[in-house]
Amino acid sequence: MMKPNLVFLTIDSLRADKCHESNRKTKTPNLDSIVKKGTYFSQAISTADQTGTSLATLFTGIFPTTSGKSQFNFTSEVPTYFDILKQNGYQMNSFIPDHEFFISLTSNFDKNIIYEFKNKEKWLRLQGGLGDQIIQQLRENKTKSPWVYYIHLMDIRAPFLVPTEFNKDENGENNYEKLVSYIDTWIGKFSENINFDETLFVLSSDHGEYIPFVEGGINGNKKIEKTITEVTKKIPFLEKAGMKMLLNARFAKQTYEKEKLKRTSTPYQMRSLNSRSTLFLYDELIRVPLLFVGHNTKNNSSVLNMVRHADVFPTIMDILKISSGETSIDGQSLYPLIQGENITEKPAYIEVGVNLAQLIDKKTPDTESKVIGIRTSDYKYFRSREDNLKLLHLYDLKNDPLEENNIAELKPDIVKKLEQILIDFMNRRDKNKSSTLTDEEIKKAKETLLKLGYI
Q: Look at residue 128 in the predicted model and tell me its pLDDT.
A: 86
Closest to 294 measured CA to CA, from 185, 203, 181, 180: 203
Calpha distance 314→304 (Å, rounded)? 19
Q: Look at residue 260 in the predicted model and tell me its pLDDT.
A: 81
- Residue 266 makes CB contacts below 8 A (sequence gap 6+) with none
Calpha distance 130→64 (Å, rounded)? 32
Instruction: Name the pairing type of β-strands 38-45 and 287-294.
Output: antiparallel
Residues 279-329 pLDDT 10s: 999 999 999 999 999 988 888 789 999 999 999 999 999 999 998 776 689
Dihedral over Cα of 431, 433, 437, 440: its sign? positive
Q: Look at residue 432 in the predicted model and tell me its pLDDT.
A: 44
Q: Which residues of 73-109 are buried (b: 16+ CB within 10 A; e: fewer)?
A: bbeeebebbbebbbeeebbbbbbbbebbbbebbbeeb
Instruction: Name the pairing type of β-strands 379-384 and 5-11.
Output: unpaired
Residues 36-93 pLDDT 10s: 999 999 999 999 999 989 999 999 999 998 888 877 777 878 899 999 999 999 999 9
Q: Look at residue 337 in the predicted model and tell me its pLDDT.
A: 95
Are 453 and 355 in contact, with CB atoms under 8 Å apart?
Answer: no
Calpha distance 322→371 (Å, rounded)? 36
SS3 94: strand
Model's pTM, two decimal places? 0.87
Please give the C-alpha separations between residue 184 and each of 12, 16, 27, 177, in angstroms, as whole numbers. 14, 14, 8, 11
Specify burial of residue 361 (Cβ count, 10 A radius: 0-12, 13-18, 19+).
exposed
- Write out residues in the chain with pLDDT < 50, as ranges: 221-222, 224-225, 228, 236-238, 365-367, 431-435
Q: Look at residue 275 in the predicted model and tell me its pLDDT.
A: 86
The strands making up 393-396's β-sheet, listed across from edge to edge, are 348-351, 371-375, 379-384, 393-396
Q: Look at residue 213 in the predicted model and tell me its pLDDT.
A: 87
Q: Look at residue 277 in the predicted model and tell me its pLDDT.
A: 85
Question: Across-strand partners of 292?
Answer: 39, 202
Q: How does DSSP classify residue 296? A: T
